[in-house]
Amino acid sequence: MTESEFIKALKDHSEKAYGQLIDDFQQKVFSTCISFVPNKEDAEDIAQEVFVEVFNSIEKFKGHSKLSTWIYRITTNKCLEFIRKKNTKKRFAFLQSLFRSEIPLDKTMYFTDMDHPGILLENQERSDTLFRAINKLPDAQRVVFTLSKIDGKSYQEISEIIDKSIPSVESLMFRAKKKLQELLGNFYKNEK
Protein backbone atom coordinates (compact mmCIF):
# COMPACT_ATOMS: atom_id res chain seq x y z
CA MET A 1 0.00 0.00 0.00
CA THR A 2 1.40 3.42 -0.94
CA GLU A 3 1.54 6.24 1.59
CA SER A 4 -1.34 8.07 -0.12
CA GLU A 5 -3.48 4.90 -0.05
CA PHE A 6 -2.56 4.42 3.60
CA ILE A 7 -3.54 8.01 4.45
CA LYS A 8 -6.83 7.60 2.58
CA ALA A 9 -7.54 4.42 4.58
CA LEU A 10 -6.82 6.34 7.81
CA LYS A 11 -9.17 9.13 6.72
CA ASP A 12 -11.79 6.48 5.95
CA HIS A 13 -11.39 5.24 9.56
CA SER A 14 -10.15 1.80 8.54
CA GLU A 15 -9.44 -0.27 11.66
CA LYS A 16 -6.75 -2.16 9.74
CA ALA A 17 -5.04 1.12 8.82
CA TYR A 18 -5.20 2.36 12.43
CA GLY A 19 -3.68 -0.92 13.60
CA GLN A 20 -0.93 -0.60 10.99
CA LEU A 21 -0.27 3.01 12.05
CA ILE A 22 0.18 1.95 15.66
CA ASP A 23 2.37 -1.00 14.65
CA ASP A 24 4.55 1.23 12.46
CA PHE A 25 4.87 4.22 14.79
CA GLN A 26 4.29 3.12 18.37
CA GLN A 27 7.95 2.45 19.20
CA LYS A 28 9.19 5.48 17.23
CA VAL A 29 6.76 7.84 19.00
CA PHE A 30 7.58 6.34 22.41
CA SER A 31 11.33 6.67 21.74
CA THR A 32 10.91 10.34 20.89
CA CYS A 33 8.75 10.90 23.97
CA ILE A 34 11.25 9.19 26.25
CA SER A 35 13.99 11.39 24.77
CA PHE A 36 12.12 14.50 25.88
CA VAL A 37 10.52 13.13 29.05
CA PRO A 38 12.73 10.38 30.47
CA ASN A 39 10.03 8.79 32.60
CA LYS A 40 8.42 5.66 31.18
CA GLU A 41 4.90 6.28 32.46
CA ASP A 42 4.84 9.91 31.34
CA ALA A 43 6.31 9.00 27.94
CA GLU A 44 3.64 6.30 27.49
CA ASP A 45 0.90 8.81 28.39
CA ILE A 46 2.25 11.35 25.92
CA ALA A 47 2.53 8.68 23.21
CA GLN A 48 -1.13 7.80 23.75
CA GLU A 49 -2.03 11.48 23.45
CA VAL A 50 -0.07 11.64 20.19
CA PHE A 51 -2.11 8.80 18.66
CA VAL A 52 -5.37 10.32 19.87
CA GLU A 53 -4.32 13.59 18.22
CA VAL A 54 -3.33 11.77 15.01
CA PHE A 55 -6.65 9.95 14.88
CA ASN A 56 -8.61 13.14 15.62
CA SER A 57 -6.63 15.29 13.17
CA ILE A 58 -5.98 12.94 10.25
CA GLU A 59 -8.72 14.70 8.26
CA LYS A 60 -6.65 17.92 8.47
CA PHE A 61 -3.48 16.25 7.16
CA LYS A 62 -2.82 17.89 3.77
CA GLY A 63 0.12 15.77 2.68
CA HIS A 64 2.58 18.69 2.39
CA SER A 65 5.05 16.54 4.32
CA LYS A 66 5.46 12.83 4.87
CA LEU A 67 3.07 11.24 7.35
CA SER A 68 6.00 10.33 9.61
CA THR A 69 7.16 13.97 9.69
CA TRP A 70 3.67 15.11 10.64
CA ILE A 71 3.52 12.50 13.43
CA TYR A 72 6.94 13.56 14.76
CA ARG A 73 5.78 17.19 14.74
CA ILE A 74 2.73 16.24 16.83
CA THR A 75 4.95 14.17 19.14
CA THR A 76 7.39 17.02 19.67
CA ASN A 77 4.59 19.47 20.37
CA LYS A 78 2.91 17.11 22.85
CA CYS A 79 6.22 16.61 24.67
CA LEU A 80 6.80 20.36 24.89
CA GLU A 81 3.25 20.87 26.17
CA PHE A 82 3.88 18.29 28.87
CA ILE A 83 7.19 19.86 29.88
CA ARG A 84 5.65 23.33 30.08
CA LYS A 85 2.87 22.05 32.35
CA LYS A 86 5.21 20.39 34.79
CA ASN A 87 7.88 21.70 37.05
CA THR A 88 10.84 20.78 34.87
CA LYS A 89 13.25 20.49 37.75
CA LYS A 90 11.16 17.69 39.24
CA ARG A 91 10.29 16.06 35.90
CA PHE A 92 13.86 15.30 34.89
CA ALA A 93 15.13 13.17 37.71
CA PHE A 94 16.62 11.14 34.91
CA LEU A 95 18.46 8.39 36.71
CA GLN A 96 15.49 7.55 38.85
CA SER A 97 13.35 6.94 35.80
CA LEU A 98 16.23 5.39 33.89
CA PHE A 99 17.07 2.60 36.31
CA ARG A 100 13.51 1.94 37.48
CA SER A 101 12.00 1.53 34.05
CA GLU A 102 12.70 -0.54 30.99
CA ILE A 103 14.20 2.09 28.70
CA PRO A 104 15.92 0.61 25.66
CA LEU A 105 19.69 0.58 26.09
CA ASP A 106 20.24 2.89 23.13
CA LYS A 107 18.62 5.69 25.14
CA THR A 108 21.25 5.33 27.87
CA MET A 109 24.21 6.28 25.72
CA TYR A 110 25.48 8.63 28.42
CA PHE A 111 26.15 5.83 30.87
CA THR A 112 28.44 2.90 31.43
CA ASP A 113 27.03 -0.58 31.88
CA MET A 114 28.64 -0.97 35.30
CA ASP A 115 26.35 -1.47 38.28
CA HIS A 116 28.81 -0.25 40.89
CA PRO A 117 26.99 2.08 43.36
CA GLY A 118 29.63 4.81 42.99
CA ILE A 119 29.31 4.80 39.20
CA LEU A 120 25.52 4.75 39.42
CA LEU A 121 25.58 7.78 41.74
CA GLU A 122 28.02 9.62 39.48
CA ASN A 123 25.84 8.85 36.44
CA GLN A 124 22.77 10.08 38.32
CA GLU A 125 24.45 13.39 39.11
CA ARG A 126 25.66 13.83 35.53
CA SER A 127 22.31 12.99 33.98
CA ASP A 128 20.37 15.19 36.41
CA THR A 129 22.75 18.06 35.64
CA LEU A 130 22.56 17.48 31.89
CA PHE A 131 18.77 17.36 31.76
CA ARG A 132 18.44 20.40 34.02
CA ALA A 133 20.69 22.26 31.60
CA ILE A 134 18.75 21.01 28.54
CA ASN A 135 15.53 22.19 30.18
CA LYS A 136 16.94 25.71 30.49
CA LEU A 137 17.32 25.99 26.72
CA PRO A 138 14.67 27.89 24.76
CA ASP A 139 12.08 25.51 23.27
CA ALA A 140 13.42 25.62 19.69
CA GLN A 141 16.98 24.88 20.83
CA ARG A 142 15.78 22.14 23.21
CA VAL A 143 13.82 20.45 20.42
CA VAL A 144 16.73 20.52 17.96
CA PHE A 145 19.26 19.34 20.56
CA THR A 146 17.01 16.55 21.86
CA LEU A 147 16.00 15.29 18.41
CA SER A 148 19.61 15.31 17.23
CA LYS A 149 21.71 14.23 20.19
CA ILE A 150 19.27 12.05 22.11
CA ASP A 151 16.89 10.78 19.42
CA GLY A 152 19.55 10.51 16.67
CA LYS A 153 17.68 12.41 13.95
CA SER A 154 19.55 14.00 11.05
CA TYR A 155 19.40 17.74 10.41
CA GLN A 156 17.28 17.01 7.33
CA GLU A 157 14.74 15.06 9.43
CA ILE A 158 14.71 17.76 12.12
CA SER A 159 14.23 20.41 9.45
CA GLU A 160 11.12 18.61 8.22
CA ILE A 161 9.78 17.97 11.73
CA ILE A 162 10.08 21.56 12.94
CA ASP A 163 9.39 23.07 9.51
CA LYS A 164 12.56 25.18 9.40
CA SER A 165 15.46 25.27 6.95
CA ILE A 166 18.59 23.18 7.54
CA PRO A 167 20.67 26.34 8.16
CA SER A 168 18.13 27.35 10.83
CA VAL A 169 18.46 23.91 12.43
CA GLU A 170 22.26 24.20 12.34
CA SER A 171 22.06 27.66 13.91
CA LEU A 172 19.73 26.42 16.66
CA MET A 173 22.07 23.50 17.36
CA PHE A 174 25.10 25.81 17.49
CA ARG A 175 23.34 28.12 19.96
CA ALA A 176 22.09 25.16 22.03
CA LYS A 177 25.60 23.71 22.32
CA LYS A 178 27.03 27.12 23.21
CA LYS A 179 24.36 27.67 25.88
CA LEU A 180 24.88 24.17 27.30
CA GLN A 181 28.64 24.72 27.47
CA GLU A 182 27.97 27.92 29.38
CA LEU A 183 25.43 26.32 31.73
CA LEU A 184 27.47 23.20 32.37
CA GLY A 185 30.73 25.15 32.64
CA ASN A 186 29.17 27.36 35.31
CA PHE A 187 27.84 24.30 37.14
CA TYR A 188 31.21 22.56 37.24
CA LYS A 189 33.02 25.79 38.17
CA ASN A 190 30.67 26.20 41.14
CA GLU A 191 31.17 22.56 42.16
CA LYS A 192 34.93 22.99 42.75
Domain 1-86's class?
A: mainly alpha
Does this model's pTM top 0.75?
no
pLDDT per residue over 39-85, tens digit each? 889 999 999 999 999 999 999 888 888 899 999 999 999 988 888 77
Boundaries of every domain in the chain: 1-86
Rounded-to-10 torsion of CA 147, 151, 154, 156: -40
Q: Which residues, at least 6 apart from 82, have a Cβ–Cβ distance to it below 8 Å?
A: 36, 37, 42, 46
| Residue, of 178 and 110, whose pLDDT is higher | 178
